[in-house]
Structure 1
Amino acid sequence: MARLVLFGPGYTGSRLASSLQRDGWQVDAISRHTPNDIARAALGQATHVLSTVPPGDNGDPILPAYGDALRKAPWIGYLSSTGVYGDTKGAWVDESAALGGRRDGRIAADQAWAAIGARVFRLPGIYGPGRAMLERLKAGQAHRIDLPGQVFCRIHVDDIIGGVRAAIERGPAGVYNLADDRPAPQNDLVEYGCGLLGLAVPPLRTLDQLDLSPQARAFYSENRRVANEKAKRLLGWRPLYPSYREGLAALV
């Protein structure tokens, strides 16, 4: 029986677990509250290991604790972030691009998992049921921001699941960008979402006019387009939602 040890059963991990369990997989979900001996016992029987746990202040928390045991699994995966590319001023980046920017801990974790032969999936902003622009629009929390030329990539949670499952079935170990096909300004999502919901489009404002958190301001300080051709070529993966339009319309 295929058996996945899943570190971090959060939003994406839980949906992946449900997808695999429907196909007869056994999934052992390991959280921060799981005793060490139980986690190690599960790893001793794992055919696949995946971590969705982001690095903390002290770096990646999983490899130092379980690296010796999880290395024995035939298949290892890790969910990373396209934030490791930093700000590219809107230029396209693929998996061969240099890493940099403000995420030293994320870069170190990304490289550490790649070094042990994991499939490292670099992800942009994740959206899906209950976690999308639509919820912020309904709550009156979405903004249009005056940042000409700035674009972002994003990925529907079900397309992450599709990419991970494709990498389980075929393709070598390595780094894969899982992103949609159409990088777009955040304002486009706001305007399209308002059209879907029949809401008025919020006014255009500058960053200084909004009370944004430091994390949100940092998000808007970066501008990049992420290429996904490697995952398509080596994994046979294709996004179900190639742009925000298909993804948001399906959520409505």
Structure 2
Amino acid sequence: MRVMIFGCGYSGQAIAEAFKSAGASVSGTVRTPESAEKLAKCGIKPFIFDGSAFGDELAGEFAEVTHLVQSIPPGGTGDPLLKLMTGRLGALCPKLEWIGYLSTVGVYGDHGGGWVTEETPGSPIQGRSIERVDTEEAWAAEGDAVHVPVARLRLAGIYGPGRNAFVNLARGTARRIIKKDQVFNRIRVEDIAGATLFLAERKLGGIYNVTDDEPGPPQDVIVEAARLMGTAPPPEQDYETAEMTPMARSFYGANKRVSNAKLRAAGFEFRFPNYRMSLAEMWDSGRWKA
């Protein structure tokens, strides 16, 4: 496999490591020379991409790419990669066999705590999630035009080494916001990487929820992390009166339980199916700081 990851940030680098472990040649895009240096040190061939145009070297790399992962979120003017590739995908990437598009479970909107599956119609309540639905469908259409399967990976709240409740507790930024009956799904970054590799190796297209087994109240994660650290959790704060940014508050507007049954039925096994075992692994190994 020759893999190109657009937007090789937190999730993208985890995906790159998974593909490298499978023997793939991996390249990725970032926005700055400093980030490119970091990718190179990790054994990932770096390219600078700011969304405006393909450089000659990047365009040349496309000729050999067999698997493409798009991790760059759409901005106010849409998906920058899609704009440049629409109608040109086959010509730019003649060896392409599979596309993975990283989306979000936010496309489902609010379901009052009820369960949703890949068959649940999208009813996003936030502008950024509405844009995701349109972008998902556009990528699927581009793939159909050149007979390349497109997997739409709908990701839950991402956490992992360096981005987790332990880090927030250590920094003093962890908050225990209480909203009655509110639940969220989450996903460990290594399971995003594993699911992407799994779908790519099998050239599976379609929609897949990439999320843990156990949606639950967000404050429970903070309490469990504090228990493992041997520290007191922060005091409870009522959602209605807590000071929050509009962005942070908007996440609480969608309450749902997201099923991963389709991905499991395809044969994928999660390394970290619930937050308790995941937090315990990070704490015991010390990887929570990484």
Q: Shared topology, TM-score over 0.5?
A: yes
Name the SS of the counterpart of 1:18 in structure 2: helix
Q: Which amino acid aligns with 1:86?
A: G
Deviation at 1:39, TM superposition (A): 2.1
Q: Distance in 2 between matches of 1:125 and 1:190?
A: 14
Match of 1:51 among 66, 70, 75: 70
Separation in structure 1 between the aligned mates of residue 279 and residue 140 of structure 2, nearest angstrom: 32
Q: Distance in 2 between matches of 1:171 and 1:5?
A: 15
Partner of 2:222 in structure 1? 190
State the percentage of identical aligned residues. Answer: 38
Once structures 1 and 2 are overlaid, which stretch shifts more, 79-88 or 169-178? Answer: 169-178
Q: Report the Cα offset of residue 71 of structure 1.
A: 6.2
* CA deviation after TM superposition for structure 1 residue 10, in Å: 0.3
Q: TM-score, normalised by structure 2?
A: 0.82
2:140 matches 1:114: yes
Aligned to 2:19: 20
Following the alignment from structure 1 to structure 2, what is the Cα–Cα distance between the partners of residues 201 and 31?
37
Contact 1:126–1:156, Cα closer than 8 Å, also in 2 = yes
Question: What residue is the counterpart of 2:28 in the other structure?
Answer: 29
Give the structure 2 partner of residue 91 of structure 1: 114
How many correspondences in the alignment?
250
Q: Which residue in the other structure is 2:37 paired with?
A: none
Q: CA deviation at 1:114?
A: 2.6
CA distance in 1, matches of 2:21, 2:255: 38
SS in 2 for 1:141: coil
Aligned in 2, Cα 1:209/1:138: closer, same or farther, shift over 3 Å? farther
Partner of 1:149, secondary structure, is: coil
Q: 1:232 maps to which residue?
A: 264
Preserved CA contact (<8 Å) 1:5 1:49:
yes
The more displaced of 5-14 and 135-144 is 135-144
Letter matched to residue 107 of structure 1: V
Q: CA deviation at 1:38?
A: 2.1
Gaps of 5+ in 1: none
CA distance in 2, matches of 1:241, 1:172: 22
Q: Aligned to 1:174, which of 206, 210, 219?
A: 206
Question: Distance in 1 between the 2:201 and 2:8 partners?
Answer: 21
Q: Aligned residue for 2:39?
A: none
Can you list the C-alpha shifts for 1:37-76, whole angstroms capped at 9, x where unaligned?
2222111111111111111001111111124236641111
SS of structure 1 residue aligned to 2:216: coil
SS at the partner of 1:202?
coil
1:76 to 93, 99, 102: 99
- CA RMSD, aligned part only? 1.5
* Match among 215, 224, 244 for residue 275 of structure 2: 244
Of 219, 237, 244, 1:205 maps to 237
8 Å Cα contact 1:191-1:201 kept in structure 2: yes
What one-letter code is carried by the residue in structure 2 that aligns with 1:53?
I
Of 252, 258, 263 in structure 2, the residue corresponding to residue 220 of structure 1 is 252
Which residue of the partner structure matches residue 5 of structure 2?
6
Q: Deviations over 1:82-110 (max 9, x none)?
A: 00001111110001111122122122112
Partner of 2:60 in structure 1? Answer: 41
User: What code does the residue aligned with 2:64 have?
Assistant: Q
CA offsets 1:185-236 (integer angstroms, 9 cap, x no match) = 00110110110111112211113443211110001121110001111112x1
Match of 1:153 in 2: 185
